[in-house]
Amino acid sequence: MLESVLIANRGEIAVRIARTCRELGVRTVAVFSDADADAPHVRVCDDAVRLPGRLPRDTYLRGDLVIDAARRTGAAAIHPGFGFLSENAGFARAVEKAGLVWVGPPAAAIDLMGSKTAAKRAAEEAGVPVVPGVHREGLTDDDILEWADGADVRYPLLVKAAAGGGGRGMRVVADRGGLPEALGAARREAASAFGDDALLVERYLPRARHIEVQVIADAHGTVLHLAERECSLQRRHQKVIEEAPSPVVDDALRARLGAEAVALAQACGYVGAGTVELIADMDDPAEHYFLEMNTRLQVEHPVTELVTGVDLVALQLRVAAGEPLGLTQDDVSVTGHAIEARLYAEDASFMPSAGRVLLSRVPSGPGVRVDGALETGQDIGTDYDPMLAKIVAHGPDRPTALARLDRALRATTTLGLTTNAWTLRGLLGVDAVRTGSMHTALVEEIAGDLPAVPVDDALSATALLWALLARETAPDDPFEIRDGWRPSGRGRLHWRLLAGEGAGPGARERDVVLHGSPEESEIVLDGDTDEPRRRSASVARLGPDRIAVTLDDTRHEVTYALASDGTIWVGADGWALPVRQAVGAADAAGTASGTLVAPMPGLVLTVRAPQGTEVEEGDPVVVLESMKMELVVAAPMDGVVTEVTVAEGDRVTVGHVVAIVEPAAGGPEGDPT
């Protein structure tokens, strides 16, 4: 076994590789960019080396820096994980030239499978069916257009980069008229992404299944398959949910698919872990075609590990050390069912999200595995892939695995940025998914029909939370308590709240009025419909960042966190939403739009704009400390601070008026014309 390994990657895959290394007693070395200086993968490894820079092209994609880091730390081998340099044949050769062990297949196999044209030729020669199309090297646009005029060509067609992957350099063409434009666009994107504008064209199967076979081979002639995975749930050609085994593959077809994958691996002299990807007819997977071979560890490898009981990383390390696999095909069997969901930093429209993770909690329990590197306080930017973690569930059968995965996603909490956890739960509830009738276009076809995040619940929970905090942080003088108490005993608090990402798409502004006490109240939500929605409600504290909210006799456990700008993030059951007071909103006393109120209870740290100060919209007026964070109460408009009601050291409750800003004389609000 290898004594030490440098992991040339980041995030969850680096943490996952380090876990197996630790179990085997193998020393690990991490590399990190400036953006990842305090990332989890750095801390779980025994040693770490900085790669100066922030962007991937300056750090994780610099093979020379990675090899130098291995030399300086005495690492014996380099494991590339997936992505970055994992399928770079030149890097594999450079690693071996430096006298290091490459934990991956031979560079020649990477070269062969990295070219989609060469890979399809190899598949044909190995007896694996390929998608009908034109695949030869050096195709010009004229060559492709001439082929497309053939009588046996069936539309739609898929134009794809010969050297690419991940959906880049791909265009779907509905008819002959759209082909020239698609060729030009695909070539430009392929050249930008891969430095190679070579294309191929093949028949596009819009409602196909994506099935792949895991293979593992040693240098002693043993090549095994570890059954198949179903990866048909995708968006923008990127997988979202994967499972093993496929719900439509029986033992006979499994043996056939495995034999084809093994034959291809043998034909290209493969050593190590790899995946043969196939596209199949939705209803008859026996009609299938070779798509490509990934010469690395796959993102979705955990589902194979769970159903076969095999640690793929351990096998990779064993093979790289020159040892035999120590397994035969008869030793490989499938037990139960496993399903993996990729937790992405993205919204329901599949657009990336970014921000600071205010609170992160991952699930646990029977049959649940989480591969992740996500923690509270972490900054998630847009420099890297938006995948945050993989939530995986295993059970004796597919229904049990589905139920466990849904429960795990329900318990997944990420506050501070938007994730797809709620969308994933929605997907698991779709009939086609539950029955296994999936295809690669399903996610995008049904995206608009998935359940929306329950905005009313988020607004109600926030109102109840603020009422609870007002009660808990009440000053000693009962006449200073701002909880809406009246001589009748019936309290009334009123906010205008904005739920959703800032003022962007999907954000909703609504008036929320709470009558009564946190223990027994009625909430009225007005502004979205002709008739206000009335809900009976109560709240109780469960912990420092968790409350129990009862709405119309249904109890929810809600987690919350405060952002530095005063936004409250609330989440439950897999959904999470930011909620804040709308700028210019009136409060319970009917104050004007220039009234600044405390969005949270806290301590006044400083008054930045005393009475008489001219301010511009967004200028800080009062700075509070709340929940160990600084919170700025800013001017909602250009104007003059006409009143400040607090001083440094004062304690304020939710909704406490801290200052008033009025438009400057002659300004838009005061202009007599």
DSSP-derived secondary structure for 14-67: HHHHHHHHHHHT-EEEEEE-GGGTT-HHHHHSSEEEE-SSSSGGGTTT-HHHHH
Note the pLDDT tens digit of each residue in 101-111: 999 999 999 99
| Statement: residue 162 has pLDDT above 50 | yes
Closest C-alpha to 599, from 627, 574, 640, 571: 627
User: What value does the mean pLDDT take over residues 149-166?
Assistant: 86
Average confidence (pLDDT) over 287-299: 95
Q: How confident is the model at residue 353 (pLDDT cuts 50, 70, 90)?
A: confident
With 90 as the cut, is the pLDDT of residue 669 above it?
no
Q: Between β-strands 238-244 and 77-79, what pairing exists: parallel, antiparallel or unpaired?
A: unpaired
Q: Which tens digit of pLDDT belongs to each residue from 52-96?
A: 999 999 999 999 999 999 999 999 999 999 999 999 999 999 999
Between 456 and 565, the more confident residue is: 456
Of 31, 575, 9, 534, which Cα lies nearest the Cα of 299? 9
Residue bearing the bigger pLDDT, 446 or 165: 446
Confidence of residue 237 (pLDDT cuts 50, 70, 90): confident
Would you say residue 126 has pLDDT above 50?
A: yes
Band (178; pLDDT cuts 50, 70, 90): very high
What confidence score (pLDDT) does residue 61 get? Answer: 96
> Using H for helix, E for strand and C for coil, what is the string for 587-607?
CCCCCCCCEEECCCCEEEEEE
DSSP H or E run through 149: none
Least confident of 335-339, 398-402, 613-617: 613-617
* Percent share of the chain, pLDDT over 90: 71
**Tell me: the pLDDT tens digits for 404-419?**
999 999 999 999 999 9
Among 142-156, 261-275, 293-307, 479-493, name the one with the lowest average pLDDT: 479-493
pLDDT score, position 566: 81
Give the position of tokens 């509905």: 174
Distances (CA, A) of 502 to 435, 499, 508, 583: 38, 8, 9, 11
Across the chain, what does the average pLDDT equal? 90
For the residues of 403-457, what is the DSSP string, one character each? HHHHHHHHT-EEESS--SHHHHHHHHTSHHHHTT---TTHHHHHGGGSPPP-HHH
Q: Using one digit for the tens of pLDDT, what is the confidence trace for 557-604?
A: 999 999 877 889 999 999 999 998 875 444 433 334 588 888 777 789
Q: Which pLDDT value is given to residue 207?
A: 84
For 46, residues 6+ apart whose C-beta sits below 8 A from its C-beta are: 27, 28, 29
pTM of the model: 0.86
Buried b (16+ CB within 10 A) or exposed e, 437-468: bbbbbbbeeeeeebeebbbbbbbbbbbbbbbb
User: How many other CB atoms are there within 10 angstroms of residue 306's CB atom?
Assistant: 23
Backbone angles phi, psi at 124, to 5 degrees: -60, -45
Q: Residues near 176 by Cβ (< 8 Å), separated by ≥ 6? A: 148, 149, 155
Confidence band for 480, pLDDT divided at 50, 70 and 90? low
If phi > 0 it is left, if psi is from -120 to 50 it is alpha, else beta; for residue 414 that is beta
Q: Are residues 428 and 405 in contact, defined by beta-carbon separation less than 8 angstroms?
A: yes
Q: Is the pLDDT of residue 653 over 90?
A: no
What does the pLDDT read at residue 458?
A: 94
Q: Please state which of the ranges 255-269, 424-438, 656-670 shows the lowest mean pLDDT.
A: 656-670
Residue 301 pLDDT level (bands cut at 50, 70, 90): very high
Q: What span, in angstroms and rounded, lies between the C-alpha atoms of 671 and 673?
A: 5
For residue 348, name the pLDDT band (cuts at 50, 70, 90).
Answer: confident
Quick one: what percent of the chain has pLDDT higher than 70? 92
Compute CA 137 distance to the chain's CA centroid, rounded to the nearest angstrom: 36
Q: What is the mean pLDDT of residues 438-456?
A: 92
pLDDT band for position 654 (cuts 50, 70, 90): low
- Band of residue 507 on the pLDDT scale cut at 50, 70, 90: low
